[in-house]
């Protein structure tokens, strides 16, 4: 136990890292004087680096509302996080990350996060979450530093962000949304603003990868045209209601390398211009389509789509796990020097078969044991 006042008495403390400990921070009121709480952190006015785990969303939100994170150079704020590798913790030194992973399901219907200095946001298993940033951003509010946004298994979440917030994502590089059954639009216009605004494009100059997986009710990514000059990969998996991509013939990303999805989905897409499909067709690569309610339902042993390759040698069969490279693009840059666009897309399909997550994040406990038995 961390005694009350033990942390706050260190008035000149600049770094506090406790994510590897078993201590989970809650409000002082909830602890009834038994151990240090969120308020003890807030009193550390010279703190520049903070790595802590909060006991629940209430404690996390209490810290966020305090505004204390604005003075931090780097932070990792987790809520009920299942596991963090040492290298992931070390990598936080130059980043500002929030990881919300409530195995208990979470009981909130909305949640807010630090804005101006947040670089990575990962939300998963919030069963009652319906909104993120409900209000439009006011002056000074933005997510300009956010580089990676990942949302998984939030069954009541109907959209990710409003157009107002989406337009502040000028440094966003990757979006992953998966297993959100109620989601109908990824980006939504708040209020009845008329169709005229739909003609105003949204520019995401650094977006490199968009992945949408198992969103059975998703009808729209964004009703406005997206201009993504750095976009390299679009991965759509089990989104049968998605009938349009948010690009026009005049805004196609010149950096595009790969569009992956089922043949049925690709053939069902509607286009604003016949030439749009003609230009995008060379980048399309077919992948199998499976029907899963959640990540727990997946059986990776017979699913080549998620990086398992079954090989036979002379003595036995074994299951070899091959993880897709993390999002570095080094190999892609080498391919660009040697190959044409269509050839690049075919070559990259071999090692771009599932989202770039750590193994523990990607596999359910049941499938983790399955893989271990074949290791």
Residue 269 has pLDDT above 90, yes or no: yes
pLDDT of residue 295: 52
pLDDT of residue 94: 47
Mind listing the domains of the chain with CATH numbers?
A: 102-295 (3.80.10)
**Mean pLDDT value of segment 198-217:** 92
CA distances from 156 to 68, 82, 134, 135, 338 (A): 30, 22, 14, 18, 46
Q: pTM for this structure?
A: 0.68
* pLDDT band, residue 227 (cuts 50/70/90): very high
Task: Find all residues with CB under 8 Å of 85, minimum gap 6, and list them.
Answer: 358
**Mean pLDDT value of segment 91-104:** 60
pLDDT for 322-369, tens place per residue?
A: 334 343 344 444 444 444 443 343 333 333 333 333 333 444 444 444
- Paired tokens of 28: 């002082």
pLDDT for 132-156, tens place per residue?
A: 765 556 666 668 889 999 999 999 9
Residue 190 has pLDDT above 50, yes or no: yes
Q: Is 275 exposed, middle or buried (0-12, 13-18, 19+ CB in 10 A)?
A: exposed
The answer to whether the CB of 234 falls within 8 A of the CB of 210 is yes
CA distances from 170 to 46, 173, 227, 284 (A): 29, 9, 11, 27
pLDDT of residue 132: 79
CA distances from 320 to 75, 146, 153, 306, 371 (A): 36, 35, 27, 12, 8
Average pLDDT, whole number, for the chain? 73
């Amino acid at each position: 136990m961390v005694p009350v006042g033990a942390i706050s008495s260190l008035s000149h403390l600049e770094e506090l890292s406790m994510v590897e400990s078993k201590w989970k921070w809650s409000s002082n009121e909830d602890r009834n004087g038994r151990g240090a709480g969120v308020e003890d952190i807030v009193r550390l006015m010279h703190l520049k680096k903070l790595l802590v785990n909060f006991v629940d969303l209430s404690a996390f939100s209490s810290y966020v509302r305090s505004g204390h994170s604005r003075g931090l150079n780097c932070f990792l704020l987790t809520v009920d996080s299942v596991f963090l590798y040492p290298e992931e913790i070390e990598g936080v030194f130059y980043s500002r990350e929030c990881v919300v992973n409530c195995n208990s399901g979470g009981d909130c219907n909305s949640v807010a996060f630090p804005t101006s200095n947040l670089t990575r946001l990962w939300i998963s298993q919030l069963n009652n979450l319906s909104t993120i940033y409900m209000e439009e951003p006011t002056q000074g509010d933005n997510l300009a530093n956010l580089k990676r946004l990942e949302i998984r298994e939030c069954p009541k979440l109907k959209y990710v962000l409003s157009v107002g917030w989406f337009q502040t994502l000028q440094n966003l590089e990757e979006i992953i949304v998966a297993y959100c059954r109620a989601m109908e639009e990824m980006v939504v216009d708040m209020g009845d603003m008329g169709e005229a605004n739909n003609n105003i494009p949204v520019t995401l100059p650094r977006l490199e990868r968009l992945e949408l997986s198992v969103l059975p009710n998703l009808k729209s990514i964004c009703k406005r045209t997206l201009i993504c000059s750095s976009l390299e990969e679009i991965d759509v998996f089990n989104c049968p209601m998605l009938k349009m991509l948010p690009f026009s013939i005049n805004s196609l990303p010149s950096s595009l390398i790969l569009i992956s999805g089922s043949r049925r989905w690709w053939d069902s897409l509607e286009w604003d211009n016949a030439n749009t499909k003609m230009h995008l067709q060379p980048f399309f690569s077919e992948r199998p389509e499976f029907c899963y309610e959640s990540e727990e339902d997946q059986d990776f042993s017979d699913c080549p789509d998620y990086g398992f390759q079954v090989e036979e040698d002379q003595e036995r069969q074994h299951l070899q796990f091959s993880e897709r490279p993390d999002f570095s693009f080094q190999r892609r840059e080498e391919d660009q020097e040697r190959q044409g666009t269509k050839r690049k897309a075919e070559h990259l399909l071999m090692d771009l078969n599932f989202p770039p997550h750590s193994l523990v994040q990607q596999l359910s406990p049941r499938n983790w044991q399955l893989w271990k038995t074949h290791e």
